[in-house]
């Protein structure tokens, strides 16, 4: 096996857009997801090393002296940071000319040829699901025999045949030993999860086809491929034992709750372990399933509502109905399941009126906390194609110089500036109302830990509002 470095490259201060994050930008409050995609492949290569530079606060100067320790470096790159990611690759190659360099991630899966052409110092890109692709390269297999890569043969760019998706998910080893070997649990923080938390995947892919959603359209695919419940429970038991400081475990599967019997089976196993856990969910889980999950340690659901307007949900192929969402929310409130709800402004069909309708809807269903994003047309998504064909793409990049999101879409009836401004309006309308302030105050009174967190987040949030305002004017 080649000595292999897996690198989430240094980037903007606080940039949480790399190897585990769906939202490729700096967030309103400091947060970091675990680099699970890289950890998963690192688990296949025993002597490898995973460095998560943004979460560790490492700069390029911190990384470069280590370049000579490795024979292969695999960098997880993202669309908004691609230029600086390639600069990191070039600096590594200059520091160690013998180092073989490969790029992975949704961006190179979508644009393999331009990604490789961006620098002659990059030796290959691994398209789509890359675990066994990288393993074969690390084993020294000739490029010509490795499925799923794009590389150069005699100066010409060559695309090898696609690699089949992994269907036996139990063939992937646990990530817990890599987390233990290479990561610092306390580096990872998500505002709505207990601290410290730990995230992992129990399956990949999503059967829904939301037009804006990056992962199923680029790496995960439109089938939910899962590990067996027994294996998942076994890994969670190991994590619980190895990381006793962890307060909450999060399943980062696109939609963990899609397979109700399996979710219930896993929940019952976690219940026996006494684990507090949370997961992503579509707002369509029946009451009976929610009840089983809640009775077995489920604390919070991360729910993608996106919009409170049915026509917009239809436009983006969300496959949810507002009446079902209301029922789901009422069920969660009744059972005491907290919800972190995510919304997007600026999706196709958005108008000034629909933004107001979505804000009103968010207040009505009242998730515990929310996150609002600007519609981001990532290359490789149906939304990107639609935006290009209709001339909606305003900005070339998806983030500002400080790592915060840009409103990249603009419509004849709704400008990108209006979309940009509506994000702050959304947050203020949701949080700065008596009911929410009372809820947050009550929560803080119950726990000093929560008080410290909310105060810190409050400071960061106001800084975010001020910074992005400046960013908008400068844009």
**Shortest Cβ 229–ligand SF4 spacing (Å):** 21
**Shortest Cβ 384–ligand SF4 spacing (Å):** 14
Residue closer to ligand SF4, measured from CB, 203 or 216: 216
First CA to last CA distance, the chain: 47
**Shortest Cβ 342–ligand SF4 spacing (Å):** 9
Alpha-carbon separation of residue 229 from 73, 169, 202, 220 (angstroms): 33, 11, 8, 19
Residue closer to ligand SF4, measured from CB, 269 or 283: 283
**Shortest Cβ 301–ligand SF4 spacing (Å):** 12
Residue closer to ligand SF4, measured from CB, 13 or 311: 311
- CA dist., res. 93 & res. 75, Å (int): 12
**Shortest Cβ 206–ligand SF4 spacing (Å):** 3
Alpha-carbon separation of residue 450 from 46, 130, 266, 343 (angstroms): 39, 39, 29, 24
- CA dist., res. 87 & res. 52, Å (int): 17
Q: Which residues contact 146 (CB under 8 A, 6 or more apart)?
A: 133, 136, 137, 160
**Shortest Cβ 67–ligand SF4 spacing (Å):** 36
**Shortest Cβ 255–ligand SF4 spacing (Å):** 5
Residues comprising the chain, all counted: 475
User: What backbone torsions phi and psi does residue 298 show, to the nearest 5 degrees?
Assistant: -65, 130
Residue closer to ligand SF4, measured from CB, 198 or 206: 206
- CA dist., res. 16 & res. 52, Å (int): 10
Tell me if 244 sits within 8 A of 199, measured CB to CB.
no
**Shortest Cβ 34–ligand SF4 spacing (Å):** 18
Residue closer to ligand SF4, measured from CB, 133 or 217: 217
For 350, which DSSP code? -
Q: Which residues contact 313 (CB under 8 A, 6 or more apart)?
A: 306, 307, 319, 320, 321, 322
Binding site for ligand SF4 (CB under 6 A): 206, 208, 210, 213, 216, 254-255, 282, 304
Residue closer to ligand SF4, measured from CB, 306 or 460: 306
Residue closer to ligand SF4, measured from CB, 128 or 282: 282
**Shortest Cβ 331–ligand SF4 spacing (Å):** 18
Strand order across the 248-251 sheet:
197-200, 248-251, 277-281, 298-306, 338-345, 369-374
Residue closer to ligand SF4, measured from CB, 122 or 219: 219
Residue closer to ligand SF4, measured from CB, 279 or 407: 279
Q: Is residue 437 packed enough to be buried (19+ CB in 10 Å), middle (13-18) or exposed (0-12)?
A: exposed
Which of helix, strand or coil describes residue 225?
A: strand
């Amino acid at each position: 096996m080649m000595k292999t470095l897996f690198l989430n490259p240094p980037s903007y201060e606080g940039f949480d857009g790399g190897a585990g994050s769906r939202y490729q930008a700096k967030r309103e409050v400091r947060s970091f997801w675990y680099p699970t995609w890289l950890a998963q492949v690192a688990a296949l290569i025993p002597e490898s090393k995973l460095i998560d530079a943004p979460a560790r606060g490492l700069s390029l100067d911190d990384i470069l002296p280590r370049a000579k320790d490795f024979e292969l470096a695999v960098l997880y790159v993202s669309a908004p940071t691609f230029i600086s990611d390639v600069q990191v690759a070039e600096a590594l190659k200059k520091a160690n000319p013998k180092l073989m360099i490969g790029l992975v991630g949704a961006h190179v899966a979508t644009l393999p040829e331009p990604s490789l052409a961006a620098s002659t110092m990059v030796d290959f890109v691994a398209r789509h699901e890359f675990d066994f692709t990288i393993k074969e390269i690390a084993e020294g297999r000739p490029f010509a025999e490795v499925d799923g890569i794009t590389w150069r043969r005699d100066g010409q760019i060559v695309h090898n045949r696609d690699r089949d998706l992994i269907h036996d998910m139990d063939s992937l080893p646990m990530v817990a030993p890599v987390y233990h070997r290479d990561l610092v649990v306390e580096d990872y923080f998500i505002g709505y999860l207990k601290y410290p938390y730990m995230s992992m995947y129990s399956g990949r892919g999503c059967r829904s086809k939301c037009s804006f959603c990056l992962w199923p359209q680029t790496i995960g695919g439109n089938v939910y491929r899962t590990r067996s419940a027994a294996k998942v429970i076994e890994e969670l038991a190991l994590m619980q034992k190895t990381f006793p400081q962890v307060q909450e475990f999060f399943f980062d599967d696109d939609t963990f709750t899609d397979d109700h019997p399996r979710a219930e089976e896993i929940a019952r196993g976690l219940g026996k372990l006494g684990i507090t856990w949370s997961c992503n969910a579509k707002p369509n889980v029946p009451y009976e399933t929610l009840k089983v999950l809640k009775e077995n340690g489920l604390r919070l659901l991360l729910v993608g509502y996106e919009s409170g307007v049915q026509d917009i949900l239809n436009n983006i192929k969300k496959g949810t109905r507002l009446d079902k969402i209301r029922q789901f929310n009422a069920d969660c409130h009744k059972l005491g399941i907290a919800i972190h709800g995510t919304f997007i402004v600026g999706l196709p069909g958005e108008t000034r009126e629909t933004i107001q309708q979505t804000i009103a809807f968010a207040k009505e269903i009242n998730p515990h906390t929310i996150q609002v994003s600007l519609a981001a047309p990532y290359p490789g998504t149906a939304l990107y194609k639609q935006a290009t064909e209709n001339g909606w793409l305003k900005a070339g990049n998806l983030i500002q110089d400080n790592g915060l999101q840009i409103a990249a879409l603009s419509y004849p009836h709704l400008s990108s500036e209006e979309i940009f401004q509506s994000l702050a309006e959304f947050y203020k309308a949701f949080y700065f109302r008596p009911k929410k302030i009372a809820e947050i105050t009550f929560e803080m009174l119950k726990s000093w830990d929560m008080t410290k967190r909310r105060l810190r987040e409050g400071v960061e949030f106001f800084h975010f509002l001020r910074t992005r305002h400046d960013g908008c004017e400068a844009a």
